Structure 1
Amino acid sequence: MTITEDGPVVRKAGPAGQARGFVTAGVTGATLAALVLGTVVENVPLFVAGLVLPLAYGALLVVAGKPARAREAAVERRTTLARVESVRAVGEGAGDVPVRFDLTVVPDDGRPYRVAIREQVNLVDLPDYRPGRIVVVEYAPERLWRVALVRRPSAEWEERAAGAGIDSAPESEWVREPSRGGVFWPVGIAGFVVGAAVVIGLVRGELSDGESRPDWDGTPSYSTSVSSSSATLTVERDASLRDEGELRWAVESLAEAVEGPQRRATSVVVQEHTVAILYAAAGTKAPGFDPYALPFDRIPALVEEAGTSLGTGSPESWQLTADGLTEALKIRVSVTGPKGAASLEADERGEVVRRDPVR
């Protein structure tokens, strides 16, 4: 038999254990990434995959572990007597409770040893296991720490237990299950990172629609949202789309984000930090215009004029709408201030053709 005198024997997980730890950490990283990113990008299949992946991996481990469990079940077990050294409940409950037993086990073919086990015991039966009591147990000769109480021993073993006297084994004779050690922590971290990176790589295209990117001057600037009929860009820094060059850059960025051939717009709506382009249905002959045809150089001046010459007072908000549903492009700038709302209209060249001041 193997009796440890100085506590548990620690041995590192072997290559197979390290590989299993790497895969487990990878599944954990992939699961968390799938759940988080599936929520962020509203990707239902990805979110569902995050729920299914750990279940599938758990089922795989169950199947893969069947041979080991079969070998464990085939381990020889023998019956012997043991002395109860101490009893301590380690949980709560109204019926069965987990109890820690410290025992002195006396194998028929070896010297006594000490072992600690946990068993579920009904509160009514606890007095039967008071310290000093001799009980019948089963143990595995090759795994001395595997000890279990025999709740209903045979008449022969009950008679032996009733007439037996067992001295306590010394503290130096403790037997503990050898620790298999943990996975080398860099291996676990690497597995977690790789698992998460795989998922991020799969949805990188979807993430690019909502992440901050550098604009033309290198400053992190905007987020986009693209659907089959529209595209929206929101500026995420201290910049206004009426500043020089900003609106042209925003429209170009949205045009690049739209999949397929260049599509004609039915309207473009611009506010201080947001521009939205509505597109004509693909394959139709609906009227529209090329967003690049907007008079970008004139738009800041149109917004400025609408805010200062139409009697609204200090402007609180503004909106520019370019409409291409008719043959000629129409641009309308609406401004709201403390004195009311007003607007002006311009043609495709950005020349003012009508003013509607506060009345």
Structure 2
Amino acid sequence: MGTTGQGQRDLNEANGLAGKGRSGAGRVLAALRLAVVSAVTGAALAALVVGVILKDVPVFATGGGVLVLLILLAFLGGRRGAGRDEPPALRTALARIEDLRATGGETADVPVTFRLTVAPEPEDGRPAYRVRISQSINLVDIPAYRPRGIAVVEYHPEKPWDVRIVTRPTPEWSRRAEEAEIDSAPESSLVRDPDGGEGAWCLLVLVTLLAGAALVVLLFRGELFASDDSRGTPKESSSSSSASRTFSTSTTVSGPSSSLLALGRMRVTAMELEARVDSAYVTSISIEDHRMAVRGDSARPLTETVHLQSLPYELFPGLVREARTTLGVRDPESWRIDVTPGTGAEVGPRVRVTVSGEEGTAHLDADATGRITERRAVGEAG
């Protein structure tokens, strides 16, 4: 069974060029499709985040709708692919071992890299070609494979690079392998998996995903940065003759399960009050089970104010629990948190938790980090 000759080489080269042209165009189209889908996905995810930050329902709905559409298209594409005809069965052929190299040897199955010349059957209509594969071979069977030897292989007719050595061929194919003589195919006939560069595909997905997300953030950068500035810096008077203003406001949460001790509820309520008074700097904060109130004066220097978003609200429920259980009030009827600016040698705001019951009133003090600095149990002076 010979596979040499000038005509054979010309046919190999022609088929190789045609295959490379088709695979090249297919890879370009696949890359474009993947880039578009990744960019749209990144933009949709960014729209969801931007919509939440800006509380912009149309932006949030657009991002969510695009994500749902992408999921639906992926589902329909999978259904359509599942409904196609079954791929053709693997074909059996003989192959000449051009070279082999073991790449490991710590287990019974040793990874071996083969360079083969695959000679398909004449009825397959495919000329002989070269391929490089890696396959695990049992350590006992390795001596059976040697350069210029003949092996039985299986290959995919539509993916000629998908080749696997048959380690236990049938008696008929074993006999044919012993009798066959196969000439080496030229190097130009070497076939490779066009999708083998998985790292490049992953990089393409990552870059286009980030590009789509960055585009959405750039489109809304004005609103995002303006929102951050309004939360993080105090409002200054536009004219030196503008009079200072004082303000106070409060909000009440209702319902049996709407206590401000619920995780995250205090911070959300503080953000709402900040937006209402249009200032992040206040002179006092009071928090009860279902009510939060703030007071402020724009004429006060920043060192005599409290920044609403700088407080450790997530630690306040623990302070209330500590005050209700360790200060001698066996059945607390109410609790209250008062936050005021630090005075004298104190650094940062002062947090006081007061609890009341039949035994009387007790309190504990904490600093701006939630660390308890003083306790006053029932009956103690102070």
TM-score, normalising length: structure 1: 0.48
TM-score, normalising length: structure 2: 0.45
More helix by share: 2
